[in-house]
């Protein structure tokens, strides 16, 4: 049996430039490790990582680039061995009171050498070393830019009104509700969308829950893009200039052009770049699935903005 779990390495940099990470102590096992926990049925890995971190530490985090996963064997309730897979993300603290739950009795912020010595499991040091490598290569302090394709809508052939008013179908509405926690896990604060109802309604549940405004742009609609493709590029450029956690929600025919704009910004001068390029190219060719979010982790702003990692979150 496979047991999926997810967690984070919250990090911060002191005034003297020293990197620190947050470790937790579990009294049940008397060990020091990372905040993590099992996925709920049907839960996205990233959602679980942010949720478990808040539930265990009281800290609200924004996920950054993913870190190496851990795989190990645990004994199930009946004594049989189960395979546990834990996916991790780097994470910046954005809020929370830091109240601990019953599973955790202590949280400490330690510099890297101290954290390395305090960790009880060798497997947990893989994530720590990966975090250090991200900092050393200026890829740790990122902001997320998400490209979202609208969720499944009523088919054109079954809709008699204007196409821009075509609504989501039941599956699309379910995906819109599911997508909200994904956007929250990455701390999205600026929402830009095609004015078409199927796009607005895809991100509306999150906007309402987070108290955010949806900014609609005709240049991101199918009709607007066909009439003046340059407007979509401008909308993307403005988000790159701002450099805050953002998303663009648009349509399949518009996405390849936006991704062509981002392709030259892929950070190729490092180890692991091939995987990033392949994942990005695959997402571009597929125009993303309906209701999918492509997360681009970006360093810098404006002309200096570079995409250092990408991940796909599908329905």
Do 92 and 37 have their domain in common?
yes
Do 193 and 301 have their domain in common?
yes
Do 176 and 305 have their domain in common?
yes
Do 164 and 131 have their domain in common?
no
For residue 146, the surrounding DSSP H or E stretch is strand 143-149
- Average pLDDT over the chain reads 94
Q: pLDDT tens digits for 111-153?
A: 999 999 999 999 999 999 999 999 999 999 999 999 999 999 9
- Mean pLDDT for 62-91 is 89
Do 10 and 117 have their domain in common?
yes
pTM, to two decimals: 0.95
Residues in the chain, how many? 315
Residue 281 has a CB neighbour count (10 Å cut-off) of: 13
Please state at what angle helix 230-242 crosses helix 255-262, rounded to 10 degrees: 50
Whether residue 36 contacts residue 5, with contact meaning beta carbons closer than 8 Å, is answered with yes
Do 161 and 291 have their domain in common?
yes
Q: pLDDT tens digits for 248-297?
A: 999 999 999 999 999 999 988 766 678 888 989 999 998 899 999 999 99
pLDDT band at residue 102 using 50, 70 and 90 as cut-offs? low
Longest dimension (CA), the chain: 66
Query: What share of the chain in percent tops pLDDT 90?
Result: 85
Sign of CA dihedral 217, 149, 292, 307: negative
| Integer Cα distance of 25 and 106 in angstroms | 5
Total H helices, total E strands in the chain: 9, 13
pLDDT band at residue 65 using 50, 70 and 90 as cut-offs? very high
Beta-carbon-side half-sphere exposure of residue 108 (alpha carbons within 13 Å): 14
Do 177 and 262 have their domain in common?
yes
Number of domains in the chain: 2
Query: Tell me, what CATH number does 87's domain have?
Result: 3.90.79.10
Burial readout 188-222 (b: 16 or more C-beta within 10 A, e: otherwise): bbbbbbbbbbbbbbbbbbbbeeeeeebebbbbbbb
230 by DSSP, 3-state: which? helix
Residue 13 has a CB neighbour count (10 Å cut-off) of: 12
Do 159 and 19 have their domain in common?
no
Q: Return the higher-pLDDT residue of 29 and 65.
A: 65
Q: Last residue of a domain, which of 83, 107, 136?
A: 136
Do 113 and 224 have their domain in common?
no
Do 188 and 284 have their domain in common?
yes
Q: For residue 187, give its domain range.
A: 143-313
| Integer Cα distance of 220 and 202 in angstroms | 14
């Amino acid at each position: 049996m496979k047991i999926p779990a997810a967690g984070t390495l919250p990090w911060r940099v002191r005034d003297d430039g020293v990197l620190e990470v947050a470790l937790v102590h579990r009294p049940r096992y008397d060990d020091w490790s990372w905040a993590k926990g099992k996925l709920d049925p049907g839960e996205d890995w990233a959602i679980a990582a942010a949720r478990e971190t808040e539930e265990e530490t009281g800290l609200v985090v924004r996920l950054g680039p993913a870190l190496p996963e851990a795989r190990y064997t645990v004994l199930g309730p009946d004594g049989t061995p189960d395979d546990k897979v834990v996916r991790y993300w780097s994470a910046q603290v954005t809020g929370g009171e830091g109240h601990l739950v019953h599973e955790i009795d202590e949280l400490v912020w330690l510099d890297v050498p101290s954290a390395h010595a305090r960790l009880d499991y060798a497997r947990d040091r893989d994530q720590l070393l990966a975090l250090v490598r991200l900092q050393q290569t200026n890829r740790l302090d990122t902001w997320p830019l998400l490209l979202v394709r609208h969720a499944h809508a009523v088919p054109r052939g079954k809709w008699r009104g204007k196409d821009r008013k075509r609504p989501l179908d039941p599956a699309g509405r379910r995906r819109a509700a599911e997508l909200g926690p994904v956007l929250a896990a990455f701390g999205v604060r600026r929402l830009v969308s095609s004015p078409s109802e199927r796009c607005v309604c895809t991100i509306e549940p999150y906007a309402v829950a987070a108290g955010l405004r949806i900014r609609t742009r005709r240049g991101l609609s199918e009709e607007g893009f066909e009439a003046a493709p340059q407007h979509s590029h401008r909308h993307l450029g403005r988000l790159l200039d701002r450099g805050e956690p953002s998303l663009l929600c648009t349509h399949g025919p518009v996405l390849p052009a936006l991704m062509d704009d981002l392709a030259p910004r892929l950070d190729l001068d490092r180890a692991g770049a091939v995987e990033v390029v392949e994942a990005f190219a695959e997402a571009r060719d597929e125009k993303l699935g309906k209701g999918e979010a492509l997360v681009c982790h970006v360093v810098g702003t404006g002309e200096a903005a570079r995409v250092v990692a990408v991940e796909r979150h599908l329905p």
